[in-house]
Chain A
Amino acid sequence: MPHLVSPPVASPCEASVRMELTGSEMRVTLGGIWRVTAEKPDWSPAKLVAKPVGLHIVLGSDLNEWDSSLLLFIHEMRSWAEGAGVRCELSHLPEGIQAMLLQFTQACEKSRPSERTETFVATVGLAAADVWVKTREIAHFLGECVLSAGFLVKNPQKFRVRDCLEEIQQCGAMSLPIVSLISLLVGLIMAYQSAILMRQFGADIYVADAVGLVMVRELGSMMTAFILAGRTGAAFAATLGNMRANDEIDALETLGIRAVDFLVLPRLVALGLMMPLLALYANFLGILGGMVVSLGLLDIPPAAYWVQTMSAIDLSDVATGVIKAGAYGVLVGLAGCHRGLQAERSAVGVGRAATSAVVMGLLLIIIADAIFAVAFNVFGL
């Protein structure tokens, strides 16, 4: 039985190439141990003293073991010979090797390099077309969600309450620490920055107005939405993407259960409910942060700060923040679920889905915020 491969042995494995020139014919004898993981034998056309007319490749009696590296070597030698106009004689090689060499050559000829780059125009065109396709997909998905919501209102027993509660736990209660930290810090930073400015005008107390209004109307809901886009939106995309790769979504479809009813709506409801609550909580902590800075830096007592804050913001300000937060929650959920359901069935696909869920979530939040700004202005809120 031929042995091309061998166990690891302590002795170094050396491949040998011997060349004998008789007249104008060169005889190349290959011997030793050929292993692809070892160093290649030191041979190059430059080493030839004179260019032979013919090259005869034969196997030496000392050839012990060989593997693909021998084929690669003969292939290279032959390629060189062809290029240099030297006749290469392989007929002395055993048939098995000749057959493998033939396969080797064919494989190299057939091999297609992974050249997939497009021209600039094509790239731009494809990207533009992709935007249109994505927009349609999102619109389609939104429509599906609305239909599903209508269906679940009519058939409330079909709604997965338990899943929804679990998601509420995950995206609501479990987000409290990070939301607390970030909104407290945002409040602190904002108060600190405005305190420096306000003190120049002796308007120290108006720090409370600035922090209160900005937190309640804008930053409370937006910071919360950003945090949840990164935390929950990505998690939705990864979960649904994995389920898709695992055929779980298909299993639902063939059972006559729509993935949107079963998986998406509970998540949207959970986020839509939790986001306003978290935003209210963030408002409160932001104001608390402002209070701490005012006490430490401006010597404003907390009671005065609180009274000033209460006089600055009214219920409609709080309401705008809460309404926006609810919308952001639904948008973040939509982005996460949509990207997850569209994910490619591979590890890379799931990763990309999570990334694009976050990006899309952030984008939707900002677009929605702009629309809300105009709309609230029109309605005088």
Chain B
Amino acid sequence: MVASILVNGLVYSGVYAMLALGFGLVFGVGRVLNLAHTAFYMVAAYGIFYFASTGFGMPLAVVLTTLGIVAAGIAVYKLFIEPVREMEATVLIATLAVAVLLQELVLVFFGNEPRHVPPALSGFTQVVGVRVGNQEMVTLVVAALSLIGAWFLLSRTKLGLAIRAAAQDREVANLMGINVNQVTAIVMGLGLLLAALAGIAVAPLFTVEPGMWMNPLVIVLAAVVLGGLGSLKGSLIGAVILAFAEVSVVFLVPGGSYLRTAIALLIMVCVFFIRPEGLFGSSIAEER
């Protein structure tokens, strides 16, 4: 029991952390609350399903899917989101419309029935006396590698410095000679890359269906605000907390699969009552 909570909790943590990091970056730099973020994750899962079933090799399928997602996402951003970026409510609805559009496109091409993707590595391994599925290990490794890569990019490169500057203060970053619009587009691509990798990594573990973006969206939103909007460390920790809460409820409470999202959100609301700005948000309410 404890072992399965631990393993599943870690897998979910990794996935939510990848999604929350991308979502948080896009919000921090572009001030865009991108409700379509997890819809791209869903499309990535379908992409890997499609390319795997047409008989491309796995590496080629992964490359094609991620490239496709990033290109499509940046095109959507440039066409529909950037022109109305200043109006928050309009952005909210536009991104929601994008999410519904993606879901419907998937429905038209693949139908409503749940799909399954064959695991990259089947079988089990004994880790300290616990049987862990190899695919779970692959997912965890992918999540860890992409998070480390994102951390390296953000903290050790010039581009990362520009991204962090733009997230901290868009106008001042612009005055310092950073092309903010370009940085926003790059961040959008980076967030989508993380979302696509997350979708690819979980496709063999979860059932792939057109509605699979809703639940992660709610959790990712909750994780990002739980950690404090604009704090990347906070959104990672928020993702881990919510993932473990969700998994524990499913395993420990009878009928817990109905309550999993409700409990995760209850935790978020409780944190809000104690710290209205989230765990790591800045307490000075600065308006931008």
Q: Do A and B bind each other?
A: no
Q: Footprint of A on B, CB under 8 Å?
A: none
Q: Footprint of B on A, CB under 8 Å?
A: none
